[in-house]
Amino acid sequence: MRAMRIRTPASVEGLYLDRADAPPPGPGEIRVHIRAASLNFRDALVVGGVFPARDGLIPLSDGAGEVVAVGPGVTGFAVGDAVVSTFHPTWADGHVERSELTASPGGPADGYACDHATRSVSHFTRAPRGLSHAESATLTCAGVTAWRALVTDAQVRPGATVLVLGTGGVSLFALQFAKAAGATVIATSSSVEKLGKLKALGADHVINYRETEKWGEAVLALTGGLGVDHIVEVGGPHTMGQSCIAARTGGHIAIVGAVGGFDIDTLPFAIVQAKRLRLQAVTVGSRRDQTDMVRAIEANGIRPVIDSHFPLERLGDAFRHMQAGGPFGKICIQL
Ligand SMILES: NC(=O)c1ccc[n+]([C@@H]2O[C@H](COP(=O)([O-])OP(=O)(O)OC[C@H]3O[C@@H](n4cnc5c(N)ncnc54)[C@H](OP(=O)(O)O)[C@@H]3O)[C@@H](O)[C@H]2O)c1
């Protein structure tokens, strides 16, 4: 097995290639030839030492590939099946306790920057038919998070209005799922070029959040003063004020991330209260969310947006490409 590992103190420069024997699957386990992985914002935090990581950890929460061996007692998987990894292997469905959300691949557990992985069956679901391994490898974190936010929690309906912020992995999936659900989508970006790509992907309206500082007011104007029904909030405390302005009375805001930084800690309480806003935080999603999303991707012919591919040995370059801020779509690792 080839694997990229983190040397502590963690840094992109400290990533190193390692070789080891891949164990055969035990009872209830499958061995997967990982053919592709993808990078998420959180992986950069793990590799950069912002999230704690043990020495030797294999990073990357998202992997996809083909089952090559099946252990005793395994049902539901067979050799040759195309599979995609799960973010919370012990969260099957419904309510989950915080204590059950602590073993995510890519940190603190080993992830998928490796060409073989032997894991219990709960670490994988089937992949969507018709997608490449790289496309499937984009789904675990960003795809399931967008699905959870808009479909499981928000129950987005045809005719609803949805606001997505920036062109990160979660936001592009949110745009695609919202359009598949029949919603009108308003999307933002700091880049003129990316605004064009958002339109090509189906966004009905786009706003440059760098040029239009009060983009919440611009969203209100686009919705006849009403505001949007749903917002997938990936910006964090720095964007929350404008998001609350952009929301409709009784609107739903999925609290997902903080690409704008955590360095302030404020909630626009008065607007939240006056508009009766519904704030629902998201921690990726369950196995059920993932299997529902896989079916929806097949039914709607959705193709994940991929920016670029890097070989495993160039994982460090992949992170540097991500941090340069130019990508539109997921950065994938080919194995
Ligand atoms: N809670 C959860 O379950 C969960 C799951 C997944 C991710 N997350 C979090 O959600 C966030 C997004 O994750 P990701 O993987 O999609 O990130 P990503 O792909 O790294 O997103 C990068 C994009 O964010 C956009 N951005 C940066 N600053 C912004 C701002 N001030 N306003 C609006 N957009 C801004 C930029 O878009 P433009 O270049 O177009 O301007 C940039 O391209 C991260 O904070 C991540 O940790 C949370």
Summarize pLDDT for 40-98 with one digit per residue, the tens. 999 999 999 999 899 999 999 999 999 999 999 999 999 999 999 999 999 999 999 98
| pLDDT, tens only, 162-193 | 999 999 999 999 999 999 999 999 999 999 99
From 259, 306, 307, 319, give the residue whose CB has the most ligand 1 atoms within 8 Å, as the site to mutate. Answer: 259
**Residue-number span of the structural domain to which 176 is assigned:** 143-281
CB of residue 70 inside a 6 A radius of ligand 1: no
CB of residue 170 inside a 6 A radius of ligand 1: yes
Please check whether residues 147 and 116 belong to one and the same domain.
no
DSSP string, 282-312: -----HHHHHHHHHHHHHHT----EEEEEEG
Q: Is 235 left (phi over 0), alpha (psi -120 to 50) or beta?
A: alpha
CB of residue 331 inside a 6 A radius of ligand 1: no
CB of residue 133 inside a 6 A radius of ligand 1: no
Residue 294 covered by a domain: no
Alpha helices in the chain (DSSP H): 41-47, 133-136, 144-147, 169-180, 192-201, 215-222, 237-246, 269-274, 287-300, 315-323
Please check whether residues 252 and 234 belong to one and the same domain.
yes
Please check whether residues 108 and 187 belong to one and the same domain.
no
Residue 148 corresponds to which tokens in the numbers above? 């959870």
Please check whether residues 153 and 54 belong to one and the same domain.
no
- Ligand 1 centroid to Cα of residue 71, in Å, is 38
Please check whether residues 133 and 187 belong to one and the same domain.
no
CB of residue 283 inside a 6 A radius of ligand 1: yes
Tell me 329's DSSP state. Answer: S
Cα–Cα distance measured from residue 80 to residue 100, given in angstroms and rounded to the nearest whole number: 30
Residue 101 covered by a domain: yes
- What is the rounded radius of gyration, in angstroms, for the C-alpha atoms of the chain? 20
Q: Is the pLDDT of residue 265 over 90?
A: no
From 38, 41, 172, 331, give the residue whose CB has the most ligand 1 atoms within 8 Å, as the site to mutate. Answer: 41
Please check whether residues 237 and 265 belong to one and the same domain.
yes
Residue having the nearest C-alpha atom to atom 37 of ligand 1? 166
CB of residue 101 inside a 6 A radius of ligand 1: no
- Structural domain total, the chain: 2
Please check whether residues 56 and 181 belong to one and the same domain.
no
| pLDDT, tens only, 152-170 | 999 999 999 999 999 999 9
Q: Sign of torsion, CA 116 140 187 271? A: negative
Q: Sign of torsion, CA 45 49 55 56? A: positive
Please check whether residues 79 and 162 belong to one and the same domain.
no
Please check whether residues 239 and 322 belong to one and the same domain.
no
Residue 33 covered by a domain: yes
Where does the pLDDT of residue 269 fall: very low under 50, low under 70, confident under 90, or very high at 90 and above?
A: very high
CB of residue 41 inside a 6 A radius of ligand 1: yes
Where does the pLDDT of residue 113 fall: very low under 50, low under 70, confident under 90, or very high at 90 and above?
A: very high
Residue 293 covered by a domain: no
Residue 299 covered by a domain: no
CB of residue 61 inside a 6 A radius of ligand 1: no
